[in-house]
Amino acid sequence: MINLHELRYVRLGTRDIGAAAKYAADILGLQLVRREGGWAYLRSDERDHTLVYFEGDPNDQTIAFDVVTNEALEQAGAVLEQNSFRVHAGSRNECDQRRVRAFISFKDPSGNQIELVFGALHSGRRYFPSRDAGITGFSHVGLRTSDPGRDEIFWTKLCNARVSDWIGPAPLLRIDEVHHRIALFPSPFAGIQHINHQVASIDDLMRAWYTLREQGIPIRFGPGRHPTSGAIFLYFEGPDGMTYEYSTGVRLISPDEEASYCPRRFPFDSTGFCMWGAKPDIPEFQS
């Protein structure tokens, strides 16, 4: 089994690196760490970076997970190859770009680009955002899937993810105490469906709602509250059509609860996504 330790970063291609970096800093509220050539590195917590924009095709999207040791990375590569996945080992230059000691990349069964990394850098300085958005960290991603059942098996049998709940066919998967780090939503094409950052309080979320409206940023869903994780949420539009989410109050499933916890099933309609009555303007959330 591949033991995923932590969700590490997202890499996104963009046609306008300047505009994307400015949005991530000024609107989303991340800290711009550095600009190197066609790369813009941003962070949301103590890690060196959690989001990278690079000059390229917006459909070129990658999510990365940490593994704890180099031996675990090698084992993961062997498990993937034994199960007929094509694995690429990162070159020295590719590792330096990602600020990691080593990584491998592959595509999941739906074609989403995944990286497993070892030895990713942290920052020696505290996270200091460009604006006080209240962000406490990069928390989870929504991934598109052409077959939720098949991909659920990949993440829970080849990897150490566990199902927390389902919304219709869409599994919400955890790799630690947080209710979900990965959510799989049916789609005819691959890619990252949304990117979530946690904020400290409902006050931060509501301040963001007013700020986004004043800036003319389209709100795609919310404010609302998920009946699955209990998190209060707000989804909004980012560069190149990406959907970003702020949320606060996500449920934690402790090790003491693990043995007795039973995943629940919610309907794949607006009531399964929001218990307050908000309606999503997001294709993957609509039946």
**pLDDT digit of tens for each residue in the chain (287 aa)?**
999 999 999 999 999 999 999 999 999 999 999 999 899 999 999 999 999 999 999 999 999 999 999 999 999 999 999 999 999 999 999 999 999 999 999 999 999 999 999 999 999 999 998 889 999 999 999 999 999 999 999 999 999 999 999 999 999 999 999 999 999 999 999 999 999 999 999 999 999 999 999 999 999 999 999 999 999 999 999 999 999 999 999 999 999 999 899 999 999 999 999 999 999 999 999 97
Separation CA 153–CA 184 (nearest Å):
12
Instruction: For the domain made up of 135-281, give the CATH fold.
Output: 2,3-Dihydroxybiphenyl 1,2-Dioxygenase; domain 1 (3.10.180)
CA dist 132 and 30 (Å) reads: 9
pLDDT at position 287: 77
pLDDT at 257: 92
Question: How many angstroms separate the CA atoms of 216 and 15, rounded?
Answer: 21
Tally the C-alpha atoms within 13 A of residue 86's C-alpha that lie toward its C-beta.
4
Res 100: pLDDT: 98
> 142 CB contacts (<8 Å, ≥6 apart)?
182, 183, 184, 185, 192, 193, 194, 195, 196, 243, 284
The length of the chain is 287
CATH architecture, domain 6-118:
Roll (3.10)
What pLDDT does 92 receive?
97
**In this structure, what token pair is assigned to residue 4?**
């995923």
The CATH 3.10.180.10 domain(s) of the chain lie at 6-118, 135-281
| Whole-number pLDDT of residue 9 | 98
In this predicted structure, what is the pLDDT of residue 37?
83
- CA angle, 142 as apex, 173 and 280 as ends, to 5°? 115
Residue 39 bridge partners (DSSP): 36, 54
CB 271 within 8 A of CB 280: no
